[in-house]
């Protein structure tokens, strides 16, 4: 009996010690809602005969983001449907003049890109190969090059969180497969080609940068009120758990650039604090811990 009591006491003590650590780990597990825009293709690739590289790279990024387990990403058809319901388009999401609450109801972050290079060169002669597949005996090596100009935009403020060019290369003694067989339609064949491998490197770099950026950004959502009931527009799919607490904030003012009209900063006032009591798929029921006067459209941020 004494042994059982001792084990129970130690277990209880261990839970008490680890509980704060586990709570922090759970909070950090909240997923950010990311919208991946089309990759505008401005590259010269007359050698390529497959599906549009812009759509292909956007789909690759969506898949890569989902695999991290850190992001909630819209399927393309679902996003188009949501935008249509709100009479918005992708350009509206990047515009500082679009209603902040409308944008936050859809997502947290918008990723936009322009493809500036998508091709390969032969090592001996140089210059882009734009004709049929050449026998590998005629060249020393092939170098695939892919470059994109990226922008990561905070939908709540319209602020560009990060903007830069991402350039990646892959060099091999062979192309891997004929250019006639290379396209986004087959992941296996795609990854065999030097351009496919360079593309994968670009996507991995973008995912890494996005993960880095969200670590600096507090998770946020939108409050929904119905009589005396309080809800957050997200639930189990975002990793929210009962007991998590959120600050409720209301936008006071937007600080805009006098010439461009770009939103430089959004000022909020804190109204109070709420706690998640019941979490379902798509919605979280909360109760007020402090404060009052909450209204639909107020912004909620995770309290660390």
- CATH H-level superfamily of 31-214: ABC-type transport auxiliary lipoprotein component (3.40.50.10610)
Fold adopted by 219-302: Thrombin, subunit H (2.40.10)
**pLDDT at residue number 81:** 83
Question: Residue 113: which of 57, 69, 51, 65 has the closest Cα?
Answer: 57
Question: Per-10-residue mean pLDDT for the chain, 304 residues long?
Answer: 44 39 47 90 87 91 93 83 83 75 80 94 58 48 94 82 93 84 77 92 95 86 93 93 95 82 80 97 96 93 86
**What is the pTM (predicted TM-score) of this model?**
0.74
Question: Residue 221: which of 242, 241, 238, 243 has the closest Cα?
Answer: 238
**pLDDT at residue number 9:** 44
**pLDDT at residue number 115:** 97
**pLDDT at residue number 125:** 45
**pLDDT at residue number 138:** 53
User: In degrees rounded to 5, what are phi and psi of residue 195?
Assistant: -70, -40
**pLDDT at residue number 27:** 43
User: Can you tell me the distance from the alpha carbon of 90 to that of 76, in angstroms, rounded to the nearest whole number?
Assistant: 11
**pLDDT at residue number 191:** 85
Token output for 68? 């991290």
User: Can you tell me the distance from the alpha carbon of 236 to that of 215, in angstroms, rounded to the nearest whole number?
Assistant: 20
Token output for 31? 């997923």
**pLDDT at residue number 243:** 96
User: Can you tell me the distance from the alpha carbon of 270 to that of 28, in angstroms, rounded to the nearest whole number?
Assistant: 22
Question: Residue 299: which of 101, 47, 89, 50 has the closest Cα?
Answer: 101
**pLDDT at residue number 260:** 76
Could you give the residue range(s) of every CATH 3.40.50.10610 domain in the chain?
A: 31-214
Could you give the residue range(s) of every CATH 2.40.10.410 domain in the chain?
A: 219-302
Strands 299-302 and 245-256: antiparallel
**pLDDT at residue number 6:** 43
């Amino acid at each position: 009996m004494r042994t059982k009591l001792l084990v129970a006491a130690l277990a209880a003590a261990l839970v008490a010690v680890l509980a704060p650590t586990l709570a922090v780990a759970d909070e950090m597990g909240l997923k950010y809602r990311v919208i991946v825009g089309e990759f505008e293709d401005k590259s010269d690739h007359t050698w390529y005969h497959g599906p549009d590289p812009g759509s292909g790279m956007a789909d690759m990024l969506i898949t890569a983001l989902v695999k991290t387990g850190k992001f909630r990403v819209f399927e393309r058809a679902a996003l188009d449907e949501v935008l249509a319901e709100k009479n918005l388009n992708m350009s509206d999401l990047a515009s500082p003049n679009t209603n902040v609450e409308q944008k936050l109801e859809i997502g947290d972050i918008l990723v936009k890109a322009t493809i500036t290079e998508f091709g390969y060169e032969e090592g001996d002669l140089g210059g882009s190969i734009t004709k049929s597949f050449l026998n590998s005996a005629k060249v020393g090596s092939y170098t695939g090059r892919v470059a994109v100009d990226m922008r990561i935009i905070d939908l709540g403020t319209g602020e560009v969180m990060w903007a830069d060019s991402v350039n990646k290369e892959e060099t091999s003694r062979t192309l891997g497969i004929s250019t006639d067989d290379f396209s986004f339609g087959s992941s296996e064949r795609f990854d065999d080609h030097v351009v496919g491998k360079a593309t994968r490197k670009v996507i991995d770099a973008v995912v890494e940068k996005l993960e880095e950026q969200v670590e600096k950004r507090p998770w946020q959502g939108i409050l929904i009120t119905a009589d005396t009931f309080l809800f957050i527009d997200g639930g189990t799919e975002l990793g929210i758990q009962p007991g998590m607490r959120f600050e409720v904030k209301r936008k006071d003012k937007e600080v805009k650039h006098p010439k461009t009209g770009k939103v430089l900063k959004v000022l909020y006032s804190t109204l109070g604090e709420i706690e998640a009591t019941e979490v379902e798929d798509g919605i979280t029921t909360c109760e007020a811990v402090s404060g009052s006067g909450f209204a639909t459209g107020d912004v909620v941020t995770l309290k660390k």
